[in-house]
Chains A and B, each alone.
Chain A
Amino acid sequence: MSLFNTELRRLRKRRFVRYLTLGGLLVLAAVAVGMFFTNQKVGPAQIAAAERAADREYQQNLGYMRQEQAACEQAKATGNADVGRFPPDCSSIQPPPREAFQTDWHLPATFEFREEFGSTLIALTAVLGLVAFVGGASFIGAEWSTGGMMNLLLWRPQRIRVLLTKLGALLSALSGLTVVTIGAWTAAFWATGTYRGSTEGMTSGAWQSFGLTGLRGLALVLIAGALGFGLASLGRHTALALGGVLGVMVVGQFGLGVVLGMARVKFVEAWLFPTYLLAWMQKKVTLQNWASCQATYNGECKPATFDITWQNSSILLSVALVLVLGGAIWSMRRRDVT
């Protein structure tokens, strides 16, 4: 227990970890505040204003089309140079129907808690996951590269235990941070829904669904932290964990995407890691292949689809976790500390 508490204390004392966490939280706060101020409640007044705006847009278009029609007829009559600009039959110049100008388009943004909160949870997870990855890598990486780890091992020679205790301290700190942040996030968006939109339809089932999304987010944050920690411990350097992942992300993913695209591979996104992260959070991502035809009864083509489910993602994430943490533990056990 003394080691666990000490590691928590060490984590809190680390300046980089503090700034990183603060930075992440500031980004989230900015998003939450921004969402509050860019949304507004939609009442009869807003709907009436939107209808007026749609009508105005229709009238403008109507006027313009009439003008063009007149110009067309005049050009036909005088046979001047502009004639090539117009269709052969001037009466075919018609404005779009009134229904085409939708009132919705002119409504201000409004926050429908039930519809939109889920995707804000994904944004939250992305930010916290990044903080967890970089923070986890820095926590152990800096220990290795400055000799702090060696010093600690002179006090606690049980290497695996030291490594896992550090990981445990990191993960529990991340859990605390994530739970508190999700709480504050929910409160902030509930307020946005209440004052700048609506919180209608929040049945217990809807809450349960958000709860599960939040849990998956928490799991993803912890996995990101553990992966950063494991990679940095394997490389015994912070920069290596970050560089490694940047390498994988940029070269691997971008390059792979381009190559697969040129090779006309179907469902290119199925080869890209971020798709699986999204699938984990959304439970399912449906990929579409537009270069295919799935005939329907009414003679239309539909693109072929391919589902990536959160179960697929969980396999991928487990394999990554086992490889990286297993490797870190193995190397901790075997390698000399010099």
Chain B
Amino acid sequence: MAAVLEIEGLAKTYRSRRRGTRRALDGFDMRVEAGQVHGFLGPNGSGKTTTLRTLLGLIRPNGGRMAILGQEVPAALPTVVGQVGAIVESPQFFPHFSAQDTLSLLAGAGGVPQQRVAEVLELVGLRERAKDRVKTYSLGMKQRLAVASALLKEPKLLILDEPANGLDPGGIREMRTLMSDLAASGMTVVISSHILAEVQLICDSVTIISLGRRVAFGPVAQVLAQHSGGGLRVRLEAVTDLPAAADLLLRSGARVTPQDDHLLVYEVDKPATVTRTLAAANLFVSELAPVTVDLESVFLQLTATAPVPGQHRQVDQSAVVDGTSSSSSDSISGGWGV
């Protein structure tokens, strides 16, 4: 499948006279396939917005390469930008214009037919308030307007930076439906977020970033499986057979954690090995299932941002991964696979 978005070794260091330098991106890689809904996850300040800004030509990287729809950016940005709808960071609009005017001016600047304005306003549910000044909008309404502005040019690639920010539960669900509809229509969607339950529900694949580096990527199921440690939950017909089974599996090279009524088995090459080993000793498996984890625990584990009792974690305290696994260009083929 063709990559709609490719980023390799992206580096960005912010320099300011007052606060010195800050390395926001440190050899970051990312790849999004066509037609996916891709989650871009990371703790606050990990570099998500910086990545998106760089991709869209708003800031200048210090190194690395990027391509959108197969064309190198920022060089080809003027030609591809018509196919990329984006919102970056919290939505900002001129407060004294109405939503209608704001979108109409954008459509004018981008050469999009004006009737598209009414369509997107309808789509994001702002039809009735379109004539009100943006100043009078709630955060969620501004967010909807931002999504409308991104959809205005009927993009092939839609990039949304924290789109669920400020939305009510109904709004979040509508957004979710909208995203799946858009993806079904063939649009590729990249959503940066830290609301993980959300991402798990709608994303096909994810990239997890921490301190400016990629720490995990791939289809959601794969990332989850990788970080469940490939663990299996094994139940037997008779609970009394558990110690014997544990013994057998240990001797076959697996790592076993006995629980009250089942075993957690790690480091086996495939589930069939477990069945075969136990069956050979006349022990029969009544349940064999992969240990499931949710994206949130994977995220907390990978970025090392799980709360520790008695400590107040500071924003820049996240995982530092060793450079070899993610900062070089060969990491596309390594890691958790694409």
Contacts and interface: CB of A to CB of B under 8 A. Distances in A.
8 contacts: A6-B105, A7-B109, A146-B92, A147-B92, A157-B78, A158-B78, A337-B58, A337-B59
Interface string B56-95: 1111100000000000001001100100001010001111
B109 A154 contact: no
Contacts of A156: 81, 109-110
A151 B149 contact: yes
Contact of A148 (B14, B88, B93, B110): B93
A291 B48 CA distance: 69
A13 B101 contact: yes
A10 interface: yes
Contacts of A15: 96
Interface in A288-335: 334
A156 B105 CA distance: 12
A336 B94 contact: no
Contact of B108 (A2, A150, A337): A2
Contacts of A10: 105
A155 B81 contact: yes
Given A336-B59, A338-B53, A13 B109 contact: no
B110 A155 contact: yes
B108 A6 contact: yes
Most buried by B among A10, A150, A155, A334: A155
B304 interface: no
Contacts of A334: 60
Which A-B residue pairs are the 8 nearest by beta carbons?
A: A147-B92, A6-B108, A336-B59, A155-B110, A337-B58, A157-B77, A6-B109, A148-B94
A98 to B, nearest CB: 67
B65 to A, nearest CB: 17
Nearest to B58: A337
A27 interface: no
A338 B86 CA distance: 15
Interface in A139-164: 142-143, 146-148, 150-158
A5 B105 CA distance: 10
Contacts of B101: 13
B106 interface: yes
Contacts, number: 74
A26 to B, nearest CB: 22
A246 interface: no
B93 A154 contact: no
Interface string B94-114: 111100010001101111000
B109 A152 contact: yes
A66 interface: no
Determine chain A's interface SS by DSSP, over half rule.
helix
Interface of B: 14, 53, 56-60, 74, 77-78, 81, 86, 88, 92-97, 101, 105-106, 108-111, 149, 153
A15 B98 CA distance: 12
A5 B149 CA distance: 19
Contacts of A154: 56, 58, 81, 86, 88
Contact of A157 (B14, B59, B74): B74
Nearest to B110: A155
A22 interface: no
A3 interface: yes
Contacts of A142: 94
Given A147-B92, A337-B59, A157 B81 contact: yes
Contacts of B88: 150, 154
A34 to B, nearest CB: 34
A143 B97 CA distance: 12
Contacts of A56: none
B325 to A, nearest CB: 29
Contacts of A14: 96
Contact of A150 (B58, B81, B105): B58
A78 B83 CA distance: 110
A152 B108 contact: no
A52 interface: no
A334 to B, nearest CB: 8
A15 B56 CA distance: 31
A155 to B, nearest CB: 4
A146 B95 contact: yes
B220 to A, nearest CB: 28
Given A157-B78, A336-B53, 19 more contacts: A2-B108, A3-B109, A6-B105, A9-B105, A13-B97, A146-B95, A148-B92, A148-B93, A148-B94, A150-B92, A151-B93, A154-B88, A155-B106, A156-B110, A158-B78, A336-B58, A336-B60, A337-B58, A338-B58
